[in-house]
Chains A and B, each alone.
Chain A
């Protein structure tokens, strides 16, 4: 069987999260969960079916006694729905056939709980409650053969931990998705183009400048020069943490293109570490006007544009 083939569309969550059959097999091997365990679980299945419901009822009673947890279950309908799913879930633990359908189902349940915002510790707490209750039932049922009880219990623990692994995966996956979406949103934020004087533009750049944003920046700058007939544009990179040679070359190209349009670009806010890094990389920024900060950049720009600032009355007014 082609173990590492990506699961098809019938197992959407497995596919989306990239959990392959081989991955599952690896996890089972690590937990040492095999045919022997499955046999033991099959042996206690009948017993398990009798206590699953009362245990889940008891669990939710316990859970909902905490105000913090009640907040996640605003209506009775939701509670009933989740209880039903949980009962089916725990009954399933001992029914064998730990196949792709089983995994997909586990991922689905984890996803539902993550979506309603249930904290991980509460979700995992459920498993502890269940295992403790089941242990009591096992030892009562096999009080004359405690080793059998223990063996069955250990097998059950293995499959439960396989499930816990999957539950944590869904939580992590959805958090990462959120982070990705936020990063995407940040990427799309355009750089503001500020016209502070006739013919003078300032572009304060904040955040990492990877190629997509750098391209966007260039387009914005050049188009703004065209529409505002700017002669000087200040690119302030105080808020840019890293400038690698790729970004530096991009900035160089932008400056050259602006020059072809008759505009001078002044680069301000180059931190000492970035300046040194660029020198070490051998990037030649000499064709670009740079000043240490925005203020000196502005002064240089005004000089280029022929402005001369002098205070009214020759003195600064008293504050």
Chain B
């Protein structure tokens, strides 16, 4: 499978590359949903820093991943949308598809958000 998934404590980090085909993305979705269950992950970081295009399929799949892993107890965060990509997405109306999914600029920020959420969950739980 093309997109590597790293395990970082209770988080999974998936790096998406520009050469990923639609099929690769769907495989990634399956793998993440499975691994979240397997490792009881609390968070899934989707790193799109190297993506130079985010079209409707990619956006839809990312949203589906977020929803699916959400159902299995993990929060998804999308990291590293480039300025030009962000603008094209907004012009296409794709940002609306991602409303409700956390987006950050870098990994550090994503981990901070996930840690914050986990703490909150621990305190409540």
A residues in contact (CB < 8 Å) with B: 218-219, 222-223, 225-226, 229, 231, 253, 256-263
A258 contacts which chain B residues (CB < 8 A)? 86
In the complex, what distance in Å separates the CA atom of A257 from the CA atom of B104?
12
A261 vs B105: C-alpha distance when bound (angstroms): 5
Q: Which A residues are CB-close (under 8 A) to B9?
A: none
Q: Once the chains are docked, how many angstroms separate the CA of A258 from the CA of B81?
A: 10
For residues 89 through 105 of chain B, which have their beta carbon under 8 Å from a beta carbon of chain A?
Answer: 89-91, 95, 98, 103-105
8 pairs across A/B with beta carbons < 8 Å? Answer: A218-B87, A225-B105, A253-B87, A257-B89, A261-B105, A262-B103, A262-B104, A263-B105
B109 touches A262 (CB 8 A): yes
A253 touches B103 (CB 8 A): no
Bound form: Cα–Cα A219–B86 in Å: 11
Note all chain B residues with C-beta closer than 8 A to A263.
105
Give bound CA distance, A260 to B54, whole Å. 12
How many Å lie between the Cα of A226 and that of B83 in the bound state? 7
- Taking CB atoms and an 8 Å cut-off, the chain B residues in 68-89 that contact chain A are 81-84, 86-87, 89
Q: Is the CB–CB distance between A256 and B95 below 8 Å?
A: yes
Residues from chain A with a CB closer than 8 A to the CB of B19 are none
The residue of chain B having its C-beta at the shortest distance from the C-beta of A224 within the complex is B83
Given A225-B105, A229-B105, is A261 in contact with B83 using a C-beta cutoff of 8 Å?
yes
Complex contact B98–A260 (CB within 8 A): yes
B106: chain A residues within 8 A (beta carbon):
229
In the complex, residue of chain A having the shortest beta-carbon distance to the beta carbon of B105 = A262
Question: Can you list the 4 inter-chain pairs with the closest CB atoms, starting with the nearest?
Answer: A222-B83, A262-B104, A257-B86, A260-B86
Interface size class of B (residues with CB under 8 A): 10 to 19
Contact (Cβ within 8 A) B105 A257 = no
Which of A218, A253, A262, A263: most chain B CB closer than 10 A? A262
- Enumerate chain B residues within 8 angstroms of A253, measured Cβ to Cβ: 87, 90-91
Which of chain A's residues has its CB closest to B113's CB?
A: A262
Looking at the assembled complex, report how far the CB atom of B117 sits from the nearest CB atom of chain A, in whole angstroms: 15
Beyond the given pairs A226-B82, A262-B109, 13 more chain A to chain B contacts, judged by CB atoms under 8 angstroms and listed by A's residue number, are A219-B83, A222-B84, A225-B83, A225-B105, A229-B106, A231-B109, A253-B87, A253-B90, A253-B91, A256-B90, A257-B83, A261-B86, A262-B103
For the complex, what is the distance from the CA of A294 to the CA of B53, rounded to whole Å? Answer: 35
B100 to A: closest C-beta gap in Å = 12
Q: How far is the CA of A263 from the CA of B90 in the complex (A)?
A: 14
Given A222-B83, A225-B83, A226-B82: A260 and B103 interface contact (C-beta under 8 Å): yes
Cβ contact within 8 Å between A260 and B109? no
What is the chain A residue whose CB lies nearest that of B94?
A260
Residue of B with least CB distance to A263: B105
CB neighbours (8 Å) of B89 from chain A are: 257, 260
Contact status of A261 and B103, CB under 8 A, knowing A222-B83, A225-B83, A226-B82: yes
**A225 to chain B: which residues have CB within 8 Å?**
83, 105
Residues in B neighbouring A260, C-beta threshold 8 A: 81, 86, 89-90, 95, 98, 103
A229–B104 Cα distance when bound, in Å, is 10
Closest to B80 in A: A261
In the complex, the chain A residue whose C-beta lies closest to that of B93 is: A256
CB contacts (< 8 Å) of B83 on chain A: these are 219, 222-223, 225-226, 257, 261
- Report the separation of the CA atoms of residues A32 and B26 in the bound assembly, to the nearest whole angstrom: 82
Cβ–Cβ < 8 Å partners of A229 in chain B: 105-106, 109
Contact flags (1/0) for B17-56 with A, using CB distance below 8 Å?
A: 0000000000000000000000000000000000000000
Check A226/B105 contact, CB under 8 A, given A256-B90, A257-B89, A260-B95.
yes
> Is the pair A257, B95 in contact by a Cβ cutoff of 8 Å?
yes
Among B86, B89, B95, which residue has the most Cβ atoms of chain A within 10 A?
B86
Chain B residues with CB under 8 Å of A261's CB are 81, 83, 86, 103, 105
Closest to B88 in A: A257
Min CB distance A284 to B, Å, is 13
Q: Which residues on the A side are within 8 Å of B81 (C-beta)?
A: 260-261
Residues of B contacting A226 with CB < 8 Å?
82-83, 105
A257 with B82: in contact, given A262-B103, A262-B109, A263-B105 (CB under 8 Å)? Answer: no
